[in-house]
Each structure stands twice: as C-alpha cells, then as structure tokens.
Amino acid sequence: MESFLKRNFEVPAKNPSEDAQRRWRGAVGKLVKNPRRRFRMVPDLDKRSEVEAKKRNIQEKIRVALYVQKAALQFIDAASKRHYQLTEEAKRAGFAISPDELASIATAHDNKGLKLHGGVEGISKKINVSLKNGTNTNDLVMRQNVYGVNRYIEKPSRSFWMFLWDAFQDLTLMILIFCALISVGVGLATEGWPKGIYDGLGISLCIVLVVTVTAISDYRQSLQFKDLDREKKKIDIQVTRDGYRQKISIYDLVVGSKVQDGSGKMLVISVGMRTEWGRLMDTLSQGGEDETPLQVKLNGVATIIGKIGLGFAIATFLVLLVRFLVQKALHAGITKWFASDALIILNYFAISVTIIVVAVPEGLPLAVTLSLAFAMKKLMNDRALVRHLSACETMGSASCICTDKTGTLTTNHMVVDKIWICGVSKSFKGKKTIKGLNSLVSGKVSSILLQCIFQNTGSEVVRGKDGKNTILGSPTESALLEFGLELEGDGSSQHRDCNKLKVEPFNSVKKKMSVLVSLPNGRVRAFCKGASEIILKMCDKIVDTDGSTVALSESQALDVINSFASEALRTLCLAYRDLDQADKGADIPSEGYTLIAIVGIKDPVRPGVKDAVRICKLAGITVRMVTGDNINTAKAIAKECGILTDDGLAIEGPEFRSKSPAEMKELIPKIQVMARSLPLDKHTLVKGLRDTLHEVVAVTGDGTNDAPALHEADIGLAMGIAGTEVAKENADVIVMDDNFTTIINVARWGRAVYINIQKFVQFQLTVNVVALIINFFSACIAGKAPLTAVQLLWVNLIMDTLGALALATEPPNDEMMKRPPVGRGENFITKIMWRNIIGQSLYQLVALGVLMFDGKRVLHLQGPDADPILYTVIFNTFVFCQVFNEINSRDMEKLNVFSGIFSSWVFLMVMASTVAFQIIIVEFLGTFASTVPLSWRMWVVCILIGSISMIVALILKSIPVESEKSHVSHSGYEPLPSGPDAV
C-alpha cells in the first residue's frame, strides 16, 4: 500500500505539475462511485490546458502586434477614427471619446493614438477630469453607465438543485435504484400491493435521504467558499477624487480616477470587462483549486479500500448465491424457478452493491474539503484570509517561520525617537525637542534638513476634507515627514519650493534614495537618504551648527549608529551635496556628500509577539527573523521578541552571501536572525530550509520584493494592512489585522484540520472493517447478511456526511500547540490509529458475532418474532457501537474524550440527530428498514453493548505504542513527548 501511494499520489502542496495531477486522478478514477462529486472542488485539467493555450495565443498576437505596430500606424489616418462611434449617452454626459477607443489604446499600447488625442492631458479633457482634483463624486454613476463598472462578469452560482443532481450521479446509487425498481416489480407480482413495494421503496427512500443530506452539505460548503472568494477580492486603493485623497474599493474605480501608488501616477482609461484583466478572468472562469496533499493521500486510501470492498462484495454475493443454489438443488430442484427466487437473488445483489457503497469511503477526501472550508471560515472571522486550501492544511505541519521585522513583529507605526545633528544627540519629545533643536542649530541647517526631508521622499503630505494633514507613503518616510512637519511648525515653507530634476527612488538592493533639485536661487543640490552604513561611506564632511561644513569623524558617527541600534532603533543617514548650475543634466553623484543628521526611528514591538514566539517554541516551530536593519538593531528586537537565544546565530546578509553553497547548507539551519539582508537572501534562506525537510512559512510585512520567498515557501503569508499588493498577491494567507499572534491561530487551525481528518479516518475505517467482515462471514456461515441494503445505506450516511460533520469540524484546543509538527513523509494513519482501529473492530466483531450466532439464547428470544428481533438488535447495536466509537474518536490518545464536547455544538447536534433518526428507523420505519420495534430492555442491551466500546477505548489507550518519529528540528529544540501522559 505504501509503495502504491508513493508511486501514484506524490503531489506537492504548492504548484503541482499537471502530469502529477493527471497521474493520481487516473489512479483514483478507476474505482470512483461519483467522479462528479469527488472532483467537483478541483479544476478541469483539460479546460486548464485549453486556457493556457489561449493565453499563449493571445500573448503571441500581442507580440506580433507590437512588432508591426509602427509600420501599421503609418497607414492609419483620421478616417479610421470613425470606427469608434460616440454613443448618445456619452455625448449628453459631455464626453468626447468612446469607451471602446480608450480600451483599444490601453490594450494595444497605442502610443500614437494617445498622442493624437493630446496625451494624458488631452484624454483627461475628453473625459472631463482634472488631473489635479480627479473626478467628481456626483459623476460616478454617469461614468459607470458610459464607461462600465470595474467588475468582471462572473458565472452565476450553482443552485441547490445542481448539487442535488451531482450527488445523484453516484454509479452505485444508480445501480441500487435500478435494483429497487426491479424489486418493486417482482414484489408486486409475488406479494401484491402494498407489501410487495416495501423493500424497493425502502431502498429508494434511503437513497433520497443520502442524496439530500449530501447535497445540503456540499451546497453549504459552496456558500462558504463563495464568501471566502468575495473576501479575497476586496482590495482598497488610494485615489484623488473631489480634490482629496480617498481610500475606495477597487470595484468603485471609474474611468478618470487618478490613482497614485508610491511615486507614480496614472489616469484610469479602462475598467471591468474592457481591460486585459477582465478578459483574462472571463477566460479563466473555471472554479476549483489544485488538490491538497491530504486530499491526494486520502483519495489513494479510498481507492485501495474501495478495491478491497469490491472484493468483499463480489465474494459475499458469490457465497450467498452458491448457498442459495445448493439449497434449492437439495430441496426444490435446480430446474424449478419462482418469482420469489428472483427477488432473493436481487436482494443478494443489492446487498453486495450496498457493501461497495459502504466500503468505498467517498467521505475521506470530501471530509478534507469540509474541514478546510470550516477552518477557513473560522479564520476569516479571526481576521486571517486563507487564499488557498492547501495553505490551511500545510500550516499545521509548519516547523519554521521566516519573518521580517517591520510591520510583522513591530507595529509598523514608526516615529522619530532620536536625532544626532551637528555632533549633538537629542531624544525627540515633540515640541520641547523642536524648541531645543531650533536653539541649537542655525536657520540654514534647519532649512537644509527640511529640504532633505520634503524633497527626497516618495511619500506626500495631503490635506483631507477635514483640513487635517495626512501622510501617504511607507511608515519610515511617514515618520520623517511627521518630524519635518513638527520642525517646520508655522514657519516658512520655502524649503518646499524646489524643482526636482532627477529622482532615484528607494531600492531594496542599494538601500538608499536620491534626488537632484534646483533651488529657488538657481543652484543645484543633491540629497541622499538611506541605510546608515551605505550613506556614511558616501560622506566625507558633516554640517556644523552655523551651516558650515567640517571634516567627518567616521568613528564618532559609527558610535552614534551603534548606540541607536543597541536601543532597537532603525537608523537612517541624511546627506546633501551642492553642485554647479552646469550639473543640472548630470547624474546624481554617489560620493562627496555632507552628512546632515543621523535619525533613530522607533518601531515598537507588537503586543503579544513575545507570547506568540514562546507558543511557537512549545509547538516545535522555530521563528527566524530576516530584516534589512543594522545587526545591532536586529539583535535587540529579536531578543525583545524572544527569537534570539543566548547561543543563537545572528548573521549579516553580506557575510551570508560570501559563503560557499556547502557552507550555506551547513549554516542555514542554525540562523535565528539575518540582518542587512536583500530579498534574494530571504529566498535563499527559505529554499535552504525547505531542502532540510522543514515546512517553511515565509512572512512579510511591508516587503515589496518578497514575492520570490513567498512563492518558494510552503506557505507565503503577508500582512493585510502593512503588506504591499505585490506581497499580498503572492501570499497564500493574508493576516488582515497585521497581528503576529494571528499566525499562531492559523497554525492551530491547520493542526486541527489534520488531527480532525485523522479522527474521521479512524472512525470510518473501523466501521468499514466491521461492516465488511460481519456481512461476509455471516453470509459464509449462516447464509444471510445481518445488515440489509437499507440499513447499510443508513450506516453509510452516518459515516460519510454526518461523521464528517461531527469529527472534521471540531475546533482546535491549546493542547495541539504542545506537540511537535508532523513532518514530511510521515504516515497519515499512525500506529496509534491502527491500535484503536484494530482494537475497536475486534470488540465489535466479537459482540456482533455472539449476537449473530448465539443471540437467541443470550437474549432469551423465542417464538416467531425471534429472528426479526435478533436482527433488529444486531443492527441497533452496530449503530450504537458507531455512535460511541465516534465519541471515542474525538481524541485518539487522551483518556477524557468529553473534554470540550459542549463547545462543539456541531458534534452534539450530529450525535443527537443520529440517535433520533435511529429511534425513528427502528420504531416507526420497520416496514422499509426490515426492523421491528424493540422493548426498553432490548434498547438498554443495545446501548450497553455500544457503550462498552468506551471502556475498550480506555484499555486500548493505556497500551503503549511507539510514536511516529517526527522529523528532527535543526533549531536546537527537542521534539516534545506524545501520548496520554503528555496531554
């Protein structure tokens, strides 16, 4: 079995190859009761290939179009513009360009068409937009009517009746319906109305119940996924509207909103289905996600068990048929046949088919989907948006979290805490500090400092409707601008009256940003700002209190930087260089600067981070911090969070990059902190950790260039507030509240999913083993199957849908975070599970076997009703064994299985429903279910035998079993012990 699973069902958690997916689908497709239902949550691979081919075709057409564009445009004259007719509605609204023409300019990258309309300014006039003030709120509806809404046309949701139809597409159920119809026909011919229809009608009603409950479960899952999908698409953006900066939903974007992100601005000229995005979404509109590893593994288990069940079904049918033919030959003669004989053989066939229904555990892979949907819904309520099914599942196996600092471990609300200027260090305490600075330095120094702050920035200060200033930009720059506004006060703002000549935006590799400006007096000045160690090397002078320049003492500056860093402050250096007027067209210089100031910026650690890191350590999860900060700053923050231990390794990016591949491989598992890192360093670290059999979670706060690391990790996780859209787009999980403790909640739910599915598998395999063996051996020995087709269908409903609802939706508990993570390659069905399955199966088989072969004597049954009562007791006892076994399965190791049961309302509801329906079936539906009403004494006997399984469970759990060996953590933490004593 193990080799079969490894050969056919090795599908990675992220980005599985199409070949691997087709291989396992081909394997499980050989014995599938209902392919439409089993594969309904996954993509159509044939359609996906077709879509990819269409995408490549479109890309080729665009490439060819761009090649011939210059030549083609030479032959286009003004007459061609008549192809785009302006609608009457657009004319009435005062617009002078059609939506289709705007869309064609954007889609075809038509620069010449753009110039013909007067460029961006000309387009803005034709769509009645001010490039300064943006659109008018009162025009939004009109613009949406003319130019469209920024939504793509989605396919309508599937109705409940479609799910009902899918559930009915079960081959074995169809066979049973066919058997039921024949049974009704033969029964009417032999036994008349209404007695002749009871058997067939009973099977039909039970099938209707199974299909209805299945459809309801599937439909509810689809509604949950629809809510999740709606949440995924919620994106807020900043636009200029009514002359003010506003945050709006992406769905409210209209043609003519001027959008700003970073230092770039754009004019929206096409939205919705007229964009490449809209057309692509229309092409890709085919639901489903790639299969999760657990779904793949359980499909393999289901297939193998299904084949075993098929063998038992065929053997049962052949044994019953041979015994019937032998008895017929001995008594009535083999040549004499009656309609009742056909009914008996048909009943044997129905029982065999029903054994297949029970044997093929269709609920295994579907229970994963149900559990994941339930967990994802709960996590969404807890402000964690899981974008991919596999992420929630994989999170439970995470053994390593690689996180950046800013916006993840810290609040991402930065403030200037200290400043070193003109050789003096000052702690920033608001207006009191500003007053002291103004008395310390001359107006010339203040002017240079303010020029550097306000000119060399990618952020901006905007005034809202309430008249208050709002700073838009990164937290680091916002802190500097806030400081600049305080320093500026109500004084002159002449330092803002400069003309930018050249800009070099911040680069995560260079770790600096520069600008070349023309001052009001006509002189040219360069400003530079960035990481202290980078800027300091570019400076040879420092500004004095009166504005003159003196020689820079590098050792003194380094002492200041290290002093700030040891206080967990992020340090930035600000510098300038005066140039000649002739240098207006020159490149921004890279040396010869004068140091203005060293700024220490404080970013407080988030509340709860230290406790979250402690929980991670208890759970066997190592937290590693990767940051671009100074090594001293990084170590101070890491120690405050509890990440860096006394014997832990903190390393700088340049040192890490200087290592050979072999040295890196040996070093990577030991790293707890990496400072002065580049995005490539984080990617290398994540990849190296994955190669050492870690399940890695890569976390980013405001990292714009972390996409490769997020893509490489088993789970990419981004912060929803601090995170950039690039990071969020590449993430598998988005933490909406930017709280590091939420990551622990995701891990807790991930573990709950894995453990819940294990509980369900343990429960279902026990039922499978007992149902198959009891029916087979009873057929062989007694010539009669004790469980009828209707009864087996009811048991199947308990197992597949109700069992999944009860066990696969149990909430997590704190004990789950006191165990080591499950390593790659570990067996899903553990030795502990096999102990429980085999032990419970043996008990049930013995108990039911005694009832089957000696039940009349044990229960003192006599008279004509003895057989019906006995078989009803056997059925009732079997069901109550499963009810108590389901309670036992709530925990596979702990003795107290009732812990937290009242907080799991779904479990209680399922248990109550199962017992209530069992009473109805036995007491009131005996005609259809082949049961008879039982006395209260017999009910007590059934419940008592079933409840003994709980005593059996206590005995089994006291039997020591060697735990599965989890993978060795390279963090220095020892795996925690498992077993009842540990819990």
Q: Is 404 annotated in the active site? A: yes
User: Residue 650: what are its φ and ψ, rounded to 5°?
Assistant: -115, 130
Report pLDDT for 255: 63
> Per-residue pLDDT tens for 223-247?
766 766 666 566 666 677 666 666 6
Amino acid, single-letter form, for residue 99: P
* pLDDT at 971 > cutoff 50: no
> Per-residue pLDDT tens for 338-392?
777 777 887 787 777 767 766 766 666 667 777 877 888 888 888 888 877 778 8
CA angle 220, 222, 226 (to 5 degrees): 120
Burial readout 148-175 (b: 16 or more C-beta within 10 A, e: otherwise): bebbbeeeeebeeeebbebbbebebbeb
Mean pLDDT of the chain: 78
| Long-range own/partner contacts, residues 187-190 (CB < 8 A, 24 or more apart) | 187/343, 189/339, 190/338, 190/339, 190/340, 190/343
Cα-based distances in Å from 701 to 302, 475, 634, 726, 840: 41, 11, 15, 11, 49
Q: What is the mean pLDDT of residues 169-176?
A: 68
> Per-residue pLDDT tens for 780-793?
777 677 877 788 77
Which stretch of 79-83, 133-137, 598-602, 848-852 has the lowest confidence by average pLDDT?
79-83
Q: DSSP H helical segments within 798-865, as ranges? A: 803-807, 831-859
HSE (side-chain half, CA atoms, 13 Å) at 614: 5
Q: What is the mean pLDDT of residues 715-744?
A: 79
Report pLDDT for 846: 94
> Per-residue pLDDT tens for 306-328?
778 778 888 888 888 888 888 88
The CATH number fitting domain 415-602, selected from 3.20.20.220, 3.40.1110.10, 3.20.20.330, 3.30.450.20: 3.40.1110.10
Domain ranges of the chain: 1-39, 43-80, 88-150+253-286, 351-371+755-958, 384-410+607-738, 415-602
Amino acid, single-letter form, for residue 316: T
Which stretch of 20-34, 151-165, 216-230 has the lowest confidence by average pLDDT?
20-34
Instruction: Name the residue with tokens 């062989």.
Output: 780
Report pLDDT for 196: 64
Report pLDDT for 305: 76
DSSP lists the bridge partners of residue 735 as 384, 719
Report pLDDT for 4: 46
The reply to whether the predicted model has a pTM over 0.85 is: no
Coil vs helix vs strand at 599? strand
Which stretch of 199-213, 233-247, 540-554, 589-603 has the lowest confidence by average pLDDT?
233-247
Write down the catalytic residue from 139, 404, 603, 738: 404
* pLDDT at 262 > cutoff 50: no
CB 764 within 8 A of CB 799: yes
> Per-residue pLDDT tens for 185-227?
666 766 667 766 766 777 677 677 777 777 777 777 677 667 6
* pLDDT at 2 > cutoff 50: no
- DSSP letters of 723-789? S-HHHHHT-SEEETT--HHHHHHHHHHHHHHHHHHHHHHHHHHHHHHHHHHHHHHHHHHTSS-SS-H
Q: What is the mean pLDDT of residues 849-857?
A: 90
Write down the architecture of domain 351-371+755-958 according to CATH. Answer: Up-down Bundle (1.20)
Of residues 428 and 39, more confidently modeled:
428
Of residues 45 and 752, more confidently modeled:
752
Which stretch of 96-110, 616-630, 808-822 has the lowest confidence by average pLDDT?
96-110
Q: What is the mean pLDDT of residues 762-789?
A: 81
Report pLDDT for 492: 59
CA distance 105 to 116: 11
What is the 3 state secondary structure string of 727-743? Answer: HHHCCCEEECCCCHHHH
Beta strand pairing call for 593-602 and 570-579: antiparallel
* pLDDT at 526 > cutoff 80: yes
Report pLDDT for 80: 47
Of residues 687 and 21, more confidently modeled:
687
Write down the architecture of domain 384-410+607-738 according to CATH. Answer: 3-Layer(aba) Sandwich (3.40)
Report pLDDT for 973: 33
Report pLDDT for 224: 67
Which two three-digit tokens encode residue 71? 């030549």
CA distance 392 to 936: 47
Report pLDDT for 771: 83
Report pLDDT for 872: 94
* pLDDT at 73 > cutoff 60: no
> Per-residue pLDDT tens for 915-961?
998 999 899 888 878 899 999 999 999 999 999 999 999 999 998 88
Of the ranges 237-241, 303-307, 458-462, 849-853, which is most confident?
Answer: 849-853
Of residues 390 and 270, more confidently modeled:
390
